[in-house]
Structure 1
Amino acid sequence: MTRPVGYYVHHQGAGHWQRACLIAREMKRPCTLIGTLAAFDRGGAPGATLDLPDDRLPEGGFDGRDGAETRPEAFHYAPLGLPGLRNRMAAIAAWIAEADPVLLVVDVSVEVALFARLLSVPVLMVRLAGTRDDQPHLEAFRSAERLIAPFPSVLDGPALPAWVRDKTHYAGFLGATARPGPAPEPDGPIVVVFGRGGAGGTVAALAAAARAVPERAWHVLGPVAGAALPSTLPPNLHLHGWVADIGPHLARAALAVGGAGDGVVAAVAAARRRFVCLPEPRAFGEQTEKAAALERLGAAVVRSSWPEAGEWPALVKAGLALDPAAISALHDPDAVPRLAAAIEGIAAGLEAS
């Protein structure tokens, strides 16, 4: 009997779930998606799922309030006396004991990767961008069979230890798979994208930006804070809320604006759209390092925070002057099936050994 693969999905933001579904859909071997899945569309899962208890503190989030002064140095998050965490790990152990998986893909968690190793299960660990040379990350990297980078190698940081780079399979962006469409109309709209994992936008800031560049329509996708009557918004500003598929909007855009999360950058690269990148604060410099690499490659105009209204005309002009070939070169439409095949190959090799 073919042994299954487990795929652990972190529950911060939607990007981990989206790429897990894309990869699992391409796999021939049975693949169970594992995580706290209540916030996701489980109807979109391509196979079996295991819903885990939430391990976040009652106050919410993963903010280090977990007894850091006594926490073992191999962990990032190990609060004491938290039933959700205890029951979560017990559920993972029970599934492993019953299903006997050939390997576990971990996207992402140092603790789950090390726990799987303790349960004698080989791990493929997703390695996000940023400077992750702290002891917990390095120990998890050391324990894994291979590391998976969900971005092209040219976006990796210069300070990465050589052995980590050598152990990494650079999968490329694991998002939209479509080939780039035709060039947009010169007077096409500006499309602003906010993901679920960040702070989102504010009505006041977006309205000020739209008023500063009145000759273009502004279409905003994702969470936006602040109440406003439609009659008080500038006529060129359109708030769409959460949009499951941003591809059709990007296809019409002359310019995209967004953070440096993998999902947003992947979608912009797939659409071959000029990009103003506004990296959001993330642990280990995940978005700021990636944005710096995009800027170095000429693939984006980067600002460290949301610009003031008066900066937008020049910023839009600079964005429209970019060569879209630079960001398009980062897109591999076959990245997802190639990674699925690589996982299948590693699984087959482990099964045969």
Structure 2
Amino acid sequence: MSENMERYNFSKAELHCHLDGCFRTGTILELARNRGIKLPTYDEKEIQQYINVKKRCSLKECLSQFFNFLPTFAGDADAISRIAKEAVEDRAKDGVTYVELRYSPHILANCDVDPLLFAKERGRLRPKDVVEVINKAVRESGEKHQIKVRTILCTIAEYSHWGIETAHLCQEYANEGTVGFDIADIEGMEKNLKDNMEIFQFCKKNGIHTTVHAGEGGPAAEVQLAIEKLHSDRIGHGYRVLEDESIYEIAKTKGIHFEVCPISSFFTASVPEDWHKHPAKRFFHDGVNFGLNTDDPGVLQSTLMDEYDIATRYWGMTTKDLHTLNINAAKSCFLDGAEKYELVQNLEKEYQNFNFE
């Protein structure tokens, strides 16, 4: 057990983790070789400059890395299943006992999807098939590694036709572990606001929980749009809400949960370079509802313990504070009724008996 794991040896809940960003480097290389996918190099150290983010850059630059590794498993059911199973196993190694893994079925499909962004060629794997493959994989891996796994289906605002299909998939697979809907690229959402608002109205009408990527690379107004126009339950990132105190006050008053991802926020230059000036430090001192997450641990080569280290080292958080963040996450998760109550109760009971020595 590592020093970090000993220090943070308690159950954790994680709500913002992209399944397609959870890969192991060795797996990417093996899949590329097996599927005949050309990579710039097949050396495990050299490939990191193409599939990992190692320095501060823009959000757009970080996302461009996905074009280098996603083709190794997009469109291949067996490869997607392997990525999903390993992602669950790795979350369990972090001590996570409840996780919501998010992904876009359309990005991983190679059939009935337009445009085809990452799969090398068209085939027979529909978005619906991707959902079924991943649901089966995370269920099996979750049982094996004793971690409760639920999934959130994502879409990209620019492709509103994906969005409504994704929302319908959320509804169709609600009884098989799919618990929510997410949308990224809020700039595209503003351009296609009418269509995307209709998607969120569908979600609200049908009891589908929602979260929105907002206030990461863009302004505080994105957070306001997500809260007031889309009536989102949670905000992915949301750091730049601090640029407008009135919007920040709305979020605090409504108890909106912010899915904070410290390491990714640093590399995407969404926050100040000085860790002591990170918005989450203000969130913490203001008693804002937020939790800590890894976002894309494969891309960033990070663990949840690394995120916790930042919180304790730079923001003055104690182990009890980290417990509070996990309770925040549990109370804000997309489980319903008895399942959510049980998750919260189990964490609170464990934390009450935690040995802080």
TM-score range (shorter-chain normalised) is: 0.3 to 0.5
Question: Which protein has greater RCO, CA pairs closer than 8 Å, 6+ apart?
Answer: 2
The structure number with the bigger radius of gyration is: 1
TM-score by structure 1 length? 0.34
TM-score by structure 2 length? 0.34
More helix by share: 2
